[in-house]
């Protein structure tokens, strides 16, 4: 199926590794032009070269997404470089798991406020798009209490609420907003690879919870994001798409 993404322009935060890089690659494979950011300049530059060599129009920036003004400036620069914006994907997470105040602050500034600042900065460009779409990457930890409570899970739940509020508020402007909630996703350098090597008890417990017998792959989450971002999902807005291999057991009504 043609997702009708050819020629559309997307910004993705956290686009050099894991789920974020898979999203960048998936959007690019469907013909979108891409702007992405990450913290490490060398990683950004390497990814730009790879994407450009593959024929994608790609620009990247080394950005601290917790710095609202810097993030907004990068969005404006990206829109200028691409000639506008149609798709915004908020993907970065602090992965701040634990109860202390620093975890709460990091989750608030990175997970939640980076998303707010990103979308606010992109809004003038989305309002000019005929295929405007926002996709926010949340987590199943926002749906039920798990090992990531309280800070991480609470702020991931807030992301879903914010996204669904945006969907209602922006519907008359033709701007769609959806979230994707991945379950446990394994990739090199990710939290679950580190757990497998450093805390095998936690890793094995987490693995045993999933009835599929495995963890997800970044590309599986990226496919969900790409579909929701695409014009093919033109009447889907305000939804939270769970991608977890039946990990969670709560009923989403």
Please report, for the domain that includes residue 218, its CATH number: 3.40.50.720
Structure tokens at 212: 């599929």
Residue 165 has pLDDT above 80, yes or no: yes
CB atoms within 10 A of CB 188: 8
Residue 210 CA from chain centroid, whole number: 22
- Whether the CB-CB separation of 157 and 171 falls below 8 Å is answered with no
Mean pLDDT to the nearest integer, 152-172: 97
pLDDT at 13 (0 to 100): 98
- Whether the CB-CB separation of 88 and 135 falls below 8 Å is answered with yes
pLDDT at 18 (0 to 100): 97
pLDDT at 132 (0 to 100): 98
Identify whether 65 is part of a domain: yes
pLDDT at 253 (0 to 100): 67
Please indicate, yes or no, whether the overall pTM of this predicted structure exceeds 0.95: yes
88 phi, psi to nearest 5 deg? -125, 125
Confidence of residue 154 (pLDDT cuts 50, 70, 90): very high
Q: Which domain holds residue 205?
A: 9-243
- Whether the CB-CB separation of 181 and 157 falls below 8 Å is answered with no
Identify whether 139 is part of a domain: yes
Identify whether 60 is part of a domain: yes
Number of domains in the chain: 1
Percent of the chain whose predicted confidence (pLDDT) is above 90: 92
Identify whether 186 is part of a domain: yes
Residue 3 has pLDDT above 90, yes or no: yes
Confidence of residue 76 (pLDDT cuts 50, 70, 90): very high
Residue 58: strand pairing partners: 34
Identify whether 250 is part of a domain: no
Kindly list the catalytic residues. Answer: 138-139, 152, 156
Identify whether 248 is part of a domain: no
- Whether the CB-CB separation of 134 and 171 falls below 8 Å is answered with no
pLDDT at 227 (0 to 100): 98
Mean pLDDT to the nearest integer, 10-37: 98
Mean pLDDT to the nearest integer, 176-194: 95
Mean pLDDT taken over the chain: 96
Identify whether 224 is part of a domain: yes
Q: How many helices (H) and strands (E) does the chain have?
A: 9, 7
Residue 4 has pLDDT above 70, yes or no: yes
Residue 243: strand pairing partners: 182
Identify whether 4 is part of a domain: no
Confidence of residue 252 (pLDDT cuts 50, 70, 90): confident
């Amino acid at each position: 199926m043609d997702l009708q993404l050819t020629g559309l322009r997307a910004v993705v935060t956290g686009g050099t590794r894991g789920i974020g890089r898979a999203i960048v690659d998936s959007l690019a494979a469907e013909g979108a032009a891409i702007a992405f950011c990450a913290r490490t300049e060398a990683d950004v530059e390497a990814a730009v070269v790879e994407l450009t060599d593959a024929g994608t129009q790609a620009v990247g920036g080394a950005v601290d997404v917790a710095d609202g003004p810097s993030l907004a400036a990068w969005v404006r620069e990206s829109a200028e470089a691409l000639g506008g914006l149609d798709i915004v994907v908020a993907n970065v997470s602090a992965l701040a798991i634990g109860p202390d105040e620093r975890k709460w602050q990091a989750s608030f500034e990175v997970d939640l406020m980076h998303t707010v600042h990103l979308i606010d900065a992109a809004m003038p460009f989305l309002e000019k798009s005929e295929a405007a779409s926002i996709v926010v990457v949340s987590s199943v930890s926002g749906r039920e209490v798990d090992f990531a409570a309280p800070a991480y899970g609470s702020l991931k739940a807030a992301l879903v609420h914010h996204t669904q509020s945006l969907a209602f508020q922006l519907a008359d402007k033709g701007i769609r907003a959806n979230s994707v909630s991945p379950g446990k996703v394994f990739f090199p350098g990710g939290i679950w690879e580190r757990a497998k090597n450093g805390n095998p008890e936690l890793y094995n417990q987490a693995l045993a919870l999933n009835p599929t017998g495995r963890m997800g792959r970044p590309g599986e989450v990226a496919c969900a994001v790409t579909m929701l971002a695409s014009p093919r999902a033109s009447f889907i807005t305000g939804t939270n798409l769970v991608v977890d291999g039946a990990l969670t057991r709560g009923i989403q009504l």
